[in-house]
Amino acid sequence: MKTFLSCFGLAMLFALAGCNSAYRTTARELGIYDADRIIEGHEVTLKTSRKLPIQTLQFTIGQRPALIDGVSYYLNKPAGYRDLSSEDIQMLRKALLTPVHKKAKLNILVDPGHGGSDSGCRSASGTVHEQVITLAIAREVQAQLKAMGHHANLTRPDEKTTRTLDERTLLGASLGIDAFVSIHVNASANPEAKGVETYTLPAFGCEGTLPNSPPRGPLVGHAYLPPSTRLAYYVQKALLDTTQPPPYPQPADRGVRHAHFKVLRDTPAPSILIEIGFMTNAEDFARITDATAQKEIARRIVQGIVRAF
């Protein structure tokens, strides 16, 4: 009994000491003062009143979903008991806290998902194809970038043309681009599933957020992951921005997620893949097929790109 008590006492002491110093490295590396670490049970909030590019990081010990200034973001590894993984600390610091040298003229390759013999996913009625929606939004993104004086190309020009994923990544390699932005539409057997998600590769040695997605690599895309993460975060933030009310119901925030998609693995440039909504959800379907809403979605994607670079 005595041994049990002393063990218990020691464990309590460690727990308290651990609590006191938990997330000290994460906070310091992200430029947040010790006093601004709030740990309540398993919920951690790191908040700063300093003028940093991000103000608040919230997450749950043992889990991957986090919030960065209110925008959903999946950590590369579950948050530890004492600190975030070194992969996540480095990624957040390089992607979101390191100043970037802004480029006056960007060169962006916009990739309308699918096309030609591959029409992508279909609406519940089967009459609307993903490739038509992705092309309409990609053309808008291209037009708006060009109107701002940037270079913008598409990986396919029309609905008829079939492009393999290899052809798309090779085009990205040949054009000397600043970023590759792939646009897709989601589908699910569950008609309630809805919302916007933006993908990057997982960090090297980390799992994707889809089921059965073990670590892979190193891959070409790993060399560009901090700017890819930066781009994904600002595009997701712009698409979900509530400070500029959209002309459609506010979409659900499914977050910045991670997957080993071919275009993210093999494009030698910062690369993201946006799932702009679910074909199989009535609310999302109404948004992504409406011409006015498509223009607004494109405007927000462009805003995210410009903000990131």
Whose Cβ is closer to Zn ion: residue 115's or residue 226's? 115
CB of 119 to Zn ion, least distance (A): 10
Whose Cβ is closer to Zn ion: residue 113's or residue 226's? 113
State the number of binding residues for Zn ion (CB under 5 A): 3
Omega before residue 211 within 30° of 0, cis: no
CB of 288 to Zn ion, least distance (A): 12
Per rule CB under 5 A, is residue 113 in the interface with Zn ion? yes
- Residue listed under structure tokens 């979903």: 65
CB of 131 to Zn ion, least distance (A): 8
Secondary structure class of 280 (helix, strand, coil):
coil
Q: What angle do CA 74, 289, 262 make, to 5 degrees?
A: 45
Residue in the shown chain whose Cβ atom is closest to Zn ion: 184
* Residue 265 one-letter amino acid: R
Whose Cβ is closer to Zn ion: residue 98's or residue 162's? 162
- 261 near 227, Cβ under 8 Å? no
DSSP string, 6-21: HHHHHHHHHHHHHHHH
CB of 134 to Zn ion, least distance (A): 7
CB of 12 to Zn ion, least distance (A): 52
Report the sign of the C-alpha dihedral through residues 274, 266, 257, 55, in that order: negative
Q: What angle do CA 48, 274, 119 make, to 5 degrees?
A: 170
Site map 184..223 versus Zn ion, x via CB under 5 A: x---------------------------------------
CB of 168 to Zn ion, least distance (A): 12
Helix (H) or strand (E) run with residue 254 in it: strand 253-258
- 306 near 106, Cβ under 8 Å? yes
CB of 85 to Zn ion, least distance (A): 30
- Among the residue ranges 86-94, 101-109, 110-118, 301-309, the one whose residues contact Zn ion (CB under 5 A): 110-118
Whose Cβ is closer to Zn ion: residue 225's or residue 276's? 276
For the chain, give the number of residues.
309
Q: How many CB atoms are located within 10 Å of the residue 303 CB?
A: 18
Whose Cβ is closer to Zn ion: residue 47's or residue 122's? 122
CB of 120 to Zn ion, least distance (A): 5
CB of 138 to Zn ion, least distance (A): 12
Residues 237-296 that bind Zn ion (CB under 5 A): none
Per rule CB under 5 A, is residue 115 in the interface with Zn ion? no
- Among the residue ranges 109-117, 193-201, 224-232, 286-294, the one whose residues contact Zn ion (CB under 5 A): 109-117
- Among the residue ranges 71-79, 173-181, 183-191, 206-214, the one whose residues contact Zn ion (CB under 5 A): 183-191
Residues 120-149 that bind Zn ion (CB under 5 A): 120
Calpha distance 254→33 (Å, rounded): 30
Token pair for 189: 């057997």
Whose Cβ is closer to Zn ion: residue 139's or residue 184's? 184
Calpha distance 83→235 (Å, rounded): 27
- Among the residue ranges 5-13, 14-22, 179-187, 255-263, the one whose residues contact Zn ion (CB under 5 A): 179-187
Beta bridge partners of 197: 255, 275
* Residue 180 one-letter amino acid: F
Whose Cβ is closer to Zn ion: residue 85's or residue 131's? 131
**DSSP secondary structure letter of residue 37:** E
Q: What angle do CA 70, 75, 79 make, to 5 degrees?
A: 100
The residues that touch Zn ion, with contacts defined as CB under 5 A, are 113, 120, 184
